[in-house]
Copies of this chain bind each other. A is one copy, B any other.
């Protein structure tokens, strides 16, 4: 029997945009929107809302900024089939006056990405967006490195002060195993009595889907995925696998299969993401993927042993 409360959020354009500086053509974004809507996906996250003063629009595409007019153009005329739109903001990178009241915007949900240390700022932002009429969430990044007392304090503060409806566990480094996922979900659920919990996983160790299932087993209801697993470095939980697993009859994997064949197989020839050994290494060592990303665009891209050893002494005193 399926669990109706489970909501699938596709962040193909948002997390996938980290691979190509959010330079997706409108044609591509429309194809993704249409396929996701047909597939019965609950939310599509279409990009970041960054302050334009912080990033050059010569270097970055429009989905780094998510102007309402750009969004409207991209989805114009396509049946949403009930699918809502989400955007993400990073603490310290958003100008809140750029965000209009919900009534004037095509966006339904705003997700605030934050480290544990910035949780006060994240709560302020989430409350601000909730007050403007949006569904708001907080996505706690780099959770594998959060010290237990700081994380507990942050979660208690969220429970007490925050209007966000969903709080996400973000396995930024793809370093969680099932046991750590279970531990974190149980912690979140024990403190956040009035929130839904979400799971955003990375695929460095080919565990993005497995950890998402693990989270679902322990009653997480908001799960992130991307088409063909696109996303920064090793990418994310593949949407096609998640839809194949979920039993809600409203989901249809077939539009996603078509989308992969038509758009993502050719795209993967041009830009790189997925299971590659340097990303596996950063996952195993619970390290940020930035070193592995740099390695992949250098001549040393297959020098795995040297890269592994360079990380062994990293971050210690």
Contacts and interface: CB of A to CB of B under 8 A. Distances in A.
A278 to B, nearest CB: 10
Interface in A231-254: 238, 240-241, 244-245, 253-254
Contact of A253 (B205, B241, B283, B308): B308
Given A206-B208, A210-B206, A240-B280, A217 B258 contact: no
Given A178-B217, A241-B206, A275 B275 contact: yes
A261 interface: yes
A311 to B, nearest CB: 12
Nearest to A284: B244
Contacts of A280: 238, 240-241, 244
Contact of A241 (B178, B205, B209, B258): B205
Given A241-B284, A244-B280, A280-B244, A257 B206 contact: no
B205 A303 contact: no
A258 B209 contact: no
Contacts of A208: 206
Nearest to A182: B217
Interface in A167-196: 177-179
A302 interface: yes
A55 interface: no
A28 interface: no
A238 B203 CA distance: 13
**A-side binding surface: helix, strand, loop or mixed?**
helix
A189 B308 CA distance: 37
B260 A304 contact: yes
Interface residues of A, number: 40
A277 interface: yes
Interface in A37-54: none
B241 A179 contact: no
Interface of A: 177-179, 203, 205-211, 213-214, 217, 228, 238, 240-241, 244-245, 253-254, 257-258, 260-261, 265, 274-275, 277, 280-281, 283-284, 302-305, 308-309
21 contacts: A177-B245, A178-B178, A178-B210, A178-B213, A178-B214, A203-B206, A205-B244, A205-B245, A206-B209, A206-B241, A210-B210, A210-B211, A241-B280, A241-B284, A244-B280, A244-B281, A258-B304, A260-B304, A261-B302, A261-B305, A275-B275
